[in-house]
C-alpha cells in the first residue's frame, strides 16, 4: 500500500491502483476514477456504485455481479452494458473498494 495522487488528491492505493481506505472515497472521486478507465458515469452507473458502497461495510467484502443483480436489483445484462468487459472489477475500482473475491 502506498500513497499516490489521483486527480490531485493524495490517496492510499494498492499496487494496481485500487483504493484501500473506504473513507477516502467520495462521489466526485468516482467520476475521476471512472474517467481514468474510459467510463462516463450516468445515474445507472451511480446506482450500482452506490449499492457496492452501501453493501461493503457490513459484509467486509465487495459484492459480486450476482449480488449486485439479486440484492441491488440491477440485472447482470445491464451491468455488462454499463461497464463493458470485467464489470465486477471496474465497479469495485470506481467505488473505491477491493476487487470482489467471490466466485459467483
Partner 1 sequence: MSTVDTQEAPVPDFGGAAPGRSLAIICSKGNLDMAYPGLVLANAALGEGVPTQMFFTFWGFDLITKSRMRDLKFTMLGNTATHLPQGLGGLPGMTALATHRMRQQIAEIGVPDVPEFLDQIVDSGGHLWACRMSADMMHVDENDLYEPVEGIISAADFIEKTDGAQLLFI
Query: Is 91 an interacting residue with respect to partner 1 (CB under 8 A)?
Result: no
Q: Please state, in angstroms and rounded to a whole number, the distance separating the CA atoms of residues 63 and 51.
A: 9
Give the interface segment with partner 1, choosing from 22-30, 48-56, 68-76 (CB under 8 A). 68-76
Query: Is 73 an interacting residue with respect to partner 1 (CB under 8 A)?
Result: no
Which of residues 24, 31, 46, 66 is near partner 1 by CB under 8 A?
A: 66
Please give the C-alpha separations between residue 50 and each of 2, 15, 45, 63, 102, in angstroms, as whole numbers: 25, 24, 9, 11, 19
Cell of 35: 474517467
- Pick 46 or 99: Cβ nearer partner 1: 99
Is 82:90 a contact under the CB 8 Å cutoff?
A: no
Expressed in angstroms, the distance from the first to the final Cα of the chain is 27
Residues that bind partner 1 (CB under 8 A): 1-6, 10-13, 15-18, 36-37, 64-67, 69-70, 75-77, 80, 85-90, 93, 102-104
Catalytic residues, by residue number, are 103
Amino acid at each position: 500500500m502506498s500513497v499516490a495522487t489521483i486527480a490531485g488528491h493524495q490517496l492510499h492505493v494498492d499496487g494496481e491502483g485500487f483504493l484501500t481506505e473506504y473513507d477516502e472515497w467520495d462521489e466526485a472521486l468516482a467520476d475521476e476514477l471512472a474517467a481514468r478507465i474510459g467510463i462516463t458515469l450516468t445515474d445507472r452507473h451511480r446506482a450500482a456504485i452506490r449499492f457496492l458502497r452501501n453493501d461493503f461495510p457490513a459484509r467486509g467484502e465487495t459484492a459480486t455481479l450476482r449480488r449486485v443483480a439479486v440484492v441491488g436489483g440491477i440485472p447482470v445484462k445491464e451491468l455488462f452494458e454499463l461497464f463493458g468487459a470485467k464489470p465486477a472489477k471496474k465497479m469495485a475500482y470506481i467505488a473505491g473498494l477491493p476487487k470482489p473475491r467471490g466466485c459467483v
